[in-house]
Amino acid sequence: MFLENTVNHTEQFGWIEVICGSMFSGKTEELIRRLKRAKFARQKVEIFKPAIDTRYDEEMVISHDANEIRSTPVPAAANIPLLANGCDVVGIDEAQFFDDEIVAVCNDLANSGIRVIVAGLDMDFQGRPFGPMPYLMATAEYVTKVHAICTRTGNLANYSFRKTSDENLVMLGQTETYEPLSRAAFFKAMKEQKISKIPIKDPEEIKASSANDKIGKDVE
């Protein structure tokens, strides 16, 4: 369980917290919870998200459970320090969609005395480390990995399986596009999906092809 750090006013350094996991694991819910606690403590809080994330709202950060908090959409990580002046706490949602500069930005903010809370997918739809997330997790003081429940087995899920054939790395979607799966269910689903993409020839085409091959050999 994560415990908030105590503030040492003689040490002008903050820290980085990373909340990671699969789709539907409660990452954004946990981010909002921590940010609202900081606001309740009358700390100055700013929340940022990538401008491309417009699934629920262009400005609000909204969890799958409809919990929400107002944020500032930014096109690139470099915009964040310009808007975080004088903050005690900076929250960043969907960090995997930012460019690699987000790592330096978060470290610079922490080094200037700001508590930085980052949420994002740690793996993409193919089960590979997602964008800058591994580097953020490596440099963070605190990493919280949350889990969803596998829709096929009921076990803990840490993979985000894409149910469509779209191969683009960035594809926004909800339950109609993604489902959280356990390790076993994910690799089984990936195998089935790979097999389904193999083109199946019509039996008549196979016969015709074999006949043509035979004719060609006879001619030789």
Q: How far apart, in whole angstroms, are the C-alpha atoms of residue 33 and residue 27?
A: 10
Number of C-beta neighbours around residue 78 at 10 A: 14
CA–CA distance, 59 with 191 (Å, rounded to integer)? 38
Distance in angstroms (rounded) separating the CA atoms of residues 171 and 63: 17
Longest dimension (CA), the chain: 92
Task: Supply 197's token pair.
Answer: 């993409």
User: How far from chain centre, in Å, is Cα 99?
Assistant: 13
Find all residues with CB under 8 Å of 53, minimum gap 6, and list them.
73, 93, 94, 97, 172
Instruction: Name the active-site residue from 94, 141, 192, 204.
Output: 94
List, in order, residues 6 or more apart from 70 with CB less than 8 Å away.
47, 59, 60, 61
Can you name the residues that pair with 133 across neighbouring β-strands? none
- Residues 90/48, Cβ–Cβ less than 8 Å: yes
Active site annotation includes 94? yes
Mind telling me the catalytic residues?
Answer: 94
